[in-house]
């Protein structure tokens, strides 16, 4: 939904938007939306029991959990799925506290240097120490997490590392990490293994359990429903029950207790109920399970191949654009990628490129550091020197703070070859007419790029109030 939305551009033309910001959030899957719309006719709380609507809600909400477990290849005998927060962040914070509390003698967490802040800061906050695992290098371009370095860290800190938290797919470069192999190494050293699945769940197939090699099993995985085609759905945690059952759940309240007395209470001993205090986001969970079911019907392997082919085409074409730098190892045969490409055009700020793409080409991208500052910094420092003239070494840090960032184009199952072609055509034009575009913009006090003459008040495009007025008139 939203693929056909039209906006009027700086050129005066009105065109369809081309959505390249799926790593931030995916657009809504119409079929999942339609399932939820029909469900609303029966909607009731899962904590009510005996009326028809309550029974339907309770059963379908339970089905949503089961469906997600089977989608991720997580054996329901050993794993549970529960919903929390509005994305991945809440679940990672929750698991960091669980892992800390069930193994208090192990005070260190390890994360890779490519992590989103949501899979770095929770560990810094809840654990005593966090160590960062370096990446493989391919002639100076970073690739996936270096498994030899991971093993070296685990060996050196043996007995101290509680868990390793790693993203399945980078939200900056789309580089895929070998998570099952990483899990095996962690388990050899008695470290738990947590996967940030925010950029993985909608793009690549996954087996959380590997029957032929249980050392490769993933202990816990978290992902965001809003990045899996259902904005408005909750965050998802899939974790081994044996880990969660060792302590009282982090959140307490209605729905997760069997009995409450004035001086004590008794928590349910079954999952997922004990992990979900309060009324859950029932329509969100149902929409998400519907989307997941549809993804499975299409086939995750097929979707992965389609998206990888599109990314390979985009990379190949973008490599030919003068002055365009692609971050991370750009050869998909050397380093497997999916769904995301980040880049800069020499001599142009990322913010300017993103503004031009929007205002002149109706291409929606994200820019800046994508909540992955250490990773972006590692990649950008070298070519920052090329991007600004007459730089003094001592000024590099302050210039980095002013200029830091990239442009990110990210795809999803609705992205087409025509979309990729439109992006490439736009980037070629921007790269070949830098001065023309620069002269069309100025920056405001927040260093944001404002077009000199083209401005559209967003309420001309959409506003809640206008929408309500239309609906009630
Ligand atoms: C890799 C990764 N991890 C975690 C997050 C945080 O997800 P959310 O904002 O849904 O909590 C994101 C969001 O962009 C992400 O890309």
pLDDT in tens, 397-448: 777 777 789 999 999 999 999 999 999 999 999 999 999 999 999 999 988 9
Q: Which residue has the tokens 């079929």?
A: 31
Backbone angles phi and psi of 7, in degrees to 5: -130, 155
3-state helix, strand, coil in the chain (%, to 5): 40, 20, 40
Task: Identify the DSSP state of 21.
Answer: B
CA distances (Å), origin 348, targets 173, 300, 432, 467: 20, 37, 12, 38
Instruction: Point out the ligand 1 atom lying closest to the alpha carbon of residue 224.
Output: 10
- What pLDDT shows up at residue 399? 73
- What pLDDT shows up at residue 382? 72
Residue 238 · residue 80 · CB < 8 Å: yes
- What pLDDT shows up at residue 67? 98
- What pLDDT shows up at residue 468? 97
Residues 182-232 have pLDDT tens digits of 999 999 999 999 999 999 999 999 999 999 999 999 999 999 999 999 999
DSSP 229-279: T-TT--EEEEEEHHHHTTS--SS-STTSEEEE-SS-EEE--STTGGG--S-
- What pLDDT shows up at residue 386? 63
Percent share of the chain, pLDDT over 70: 97
- What pLDDT shows up at residue 387? 56
As a residue count, the chain comes to 473
- What pLDDT shows up at residue 4? 97
User: How far, in Å, CA of 344 to CA of 376, rounded?
Assistant: 12
H or E stretch at 14: strand 14-16
- Choose the residue to mutate in 121, 144, 145, 171 for probing ligand 1, maximizing ligand atoms within 8 Å of C-beta: 171
- Choose the residue to mutate in 371, 376, 412 for probing ligand 1, maximizing ligand atoms within 8 Å of C-beta: 371
- What pLDDT shows up at residue 446? 87
CA distances (Å), origin 442, targets 138, 349, 452, 453, 456: 38, 12, 7, 10, 16
User: How far, in Å, CA of 22 to CA of 5, rounded?
Assistant: 16
- What pLDDT shows up at residue 28? 98
Percent share of the chain, pLDDT over 90: 92
- What pLDDT shows up at residue 389? 60
End-to-end CA distance of the chain: 25
Structure-token pair, residue 258: 């069997």
Residues 339-375 have pLDDT tens digits of 999 999 999 999 999 999 999 999 999 999 999 999 9
- What pLDDT shows up at residue 396? 74
What are the start-end ranges of the H helices in 141-223?
Answer: 147-156, 179-188
Quickly state the pLDDT bin for 395 (edges 50, 70, 90). Answer: confident
Report whether pLDDT(158) > 70: yes
Q: How far, in Å, is the centroid of ligand 1 from the Cα of 408?
A: 15
Q: Which residue has the tokens 């830098």?
A: 434
3-state secondary structure 391-409: CCHHHHHHHHHHHCCEEEE
Q: How far, in Å, is the centroid of ligand 1 from the Cα of 216?
A: 24
Q: How far, in Å, is the centroid of ligand 1 from the Cα of 116?
A: 7
User: How far, in Å, CA of 158 to CA of 384, rounded?
Assistant: 38
CA distances (Å), origin 270, targets 60, 119, 200: 18, 28, 28
Sequence-distant (≥ 6) Cβ neighbours of residue 29 within 8 angstroms: 1, 229, 230, 290, 291, 294
**For residue 242, with 0-12 CB atoms within 10 Å meaning exposed, 13-18 middle and 19 or more buried, which class applies?**
exposed
Q: How far, in Å, is the centroid of ligand 1 from the Cα of 118?
A: 6
Mean pLDDT of the chain: 95
For the domain covering 30-297, report its CATH number: 3.40.640.10
- How much is the average pLDDT of 89-101? 98
- Choose the residue to mutate in 22, 26, 115, 116 for probing ligand 1, maximizing ligand atoms within 8 Å of C-beta: 116
* Closest-CA residue to 309 (of 321, 297, 301): 301
Residues 369-392 have pLDDT tens digits of 999 999 999 898 877 666 566 666
Residues 110-144 have pLDDT tens digits of 999 999 999 999 999 999 999 999 999 998 899 99
Q: How far, in Å, is the centroid of ligand 1 from the Cα of 467?
A: 30
Quickly state the pLDDT bin for 393 (edges 50, 70, 90). Answer: low
Tell me the domain boundaries of the chain: 6-23+300-460, 30-297
Quickly state the pLDDT bin for 394 (edges 50, 70, 90). Answer: low
Residue 162 · residue 184 · CB < 8 Å: no
User: Whose CA is closest to atom 14 on ligand 1?
Assistant: 24
- What pLDDT shows up at residue 238? 98
For the domain covering 6-23+300-460, report its CATH number: 3.90.1150.10
User: How far, in Å, CA of 415 to CA of 310, rounded?
Assistant: 8
- How much is the average pLDDT of 42-58? 94
User: How far, in Å, CA of 290 to CA of 33, rounded?
Assistant: 9
- What pLDDT shows up at residue 163? 98
């Amino acid at each position: 939904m939203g693929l056909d939305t039209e906006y009027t551009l700086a050129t005066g033309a009105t065109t369809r938007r081309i959505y390249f910001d799926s790593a931030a959030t995916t657009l809504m899957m119409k079929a999942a939306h339609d399932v939820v719309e029909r469900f609303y006719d029966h909607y009731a709380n899962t904590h009510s029991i005996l009326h028809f609507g309550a029974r339907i809600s309770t059963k379908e909400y339970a089905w949503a959990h089961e469906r997600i477990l089977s989608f991720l290849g997580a054996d329901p005998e050993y794993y549970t799925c529960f919903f929390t927060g509005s994305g991945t962040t809440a679940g990672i914070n929750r698991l960091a506290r669980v892992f800390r509390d069930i193994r208090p003698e192990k005070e260190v967490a390890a994360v890779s240097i490519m992590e989103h802040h949501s899979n770095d800061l929770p560990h810094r906050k809840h654990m005593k120490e966090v160590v960062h695992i370096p990446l493989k290098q391919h002639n100076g371009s970073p690739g996936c997490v270096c498994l030899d370095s991971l093993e070296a860290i685990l060996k050196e800190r043996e007995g101290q590392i509680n868990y390793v938290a790693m993203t399945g797919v980078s939200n900056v470069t789309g580089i895929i990490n070998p998570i099952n192999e990483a899990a095996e190494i962690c388990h050899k050293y008695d470290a738990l293994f947590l996967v940030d699945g925010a950029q993985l769940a909608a793009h690549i197939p996954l087996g959380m359990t590997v029957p032929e090699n249980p050392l490769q099993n993933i202990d816990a995985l978290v992902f965001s429903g809003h990045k899996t085609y259902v904005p408005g759905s909750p965050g998802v945690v899939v974790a081994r029950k044996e880990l969660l059952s060792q302590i009282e759940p982090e959140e307490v309240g209605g729905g997760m207790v069997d009995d409450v007395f004035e001086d004590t209470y008794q928590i349910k001993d079954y999952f997922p109920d004990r992990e979900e205090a309060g009324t859950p986001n029932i329509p969100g969970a149902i929409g998400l399970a519907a989307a997941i079911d549809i993804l499975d019907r299409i086939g995750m392997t097929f979707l992965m191949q389609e998206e990888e082919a599109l990314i390979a085409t985009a990379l190949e074409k973008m490599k030919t654009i003068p002055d365009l730098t692609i971050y991370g190892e750009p050869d998909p045969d050397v380093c497997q990628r999916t769904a995301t490409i980040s880049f800069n055009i020499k001599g142009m700020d990322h913010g300017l490129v993103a503004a031009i793409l929007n205002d002149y080409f109706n291409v929606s991208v994200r820019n800046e550091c994508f909540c992955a500052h250490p990773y972006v910094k590692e990649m950008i420092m070298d070519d920052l020197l090329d991007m600004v003239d007459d730089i003094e070494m001592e000024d590099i840090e302050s210039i980095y703070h002013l200029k830091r960032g990239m442009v990110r184009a990210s795809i999803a199952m609705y992205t087409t070859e025509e979309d990729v072609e439109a992006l490439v055509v736009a980037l070629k034009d921007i790269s070949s007419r830098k001065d023309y575009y620069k002269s069309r913009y100025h920056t405001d006090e927040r260093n944001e790029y404002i077009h000199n003459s083209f401005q559209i008040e967003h309420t001309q495009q959409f506003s809640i109030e206008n929408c309500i007025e239309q609906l009630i008139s």
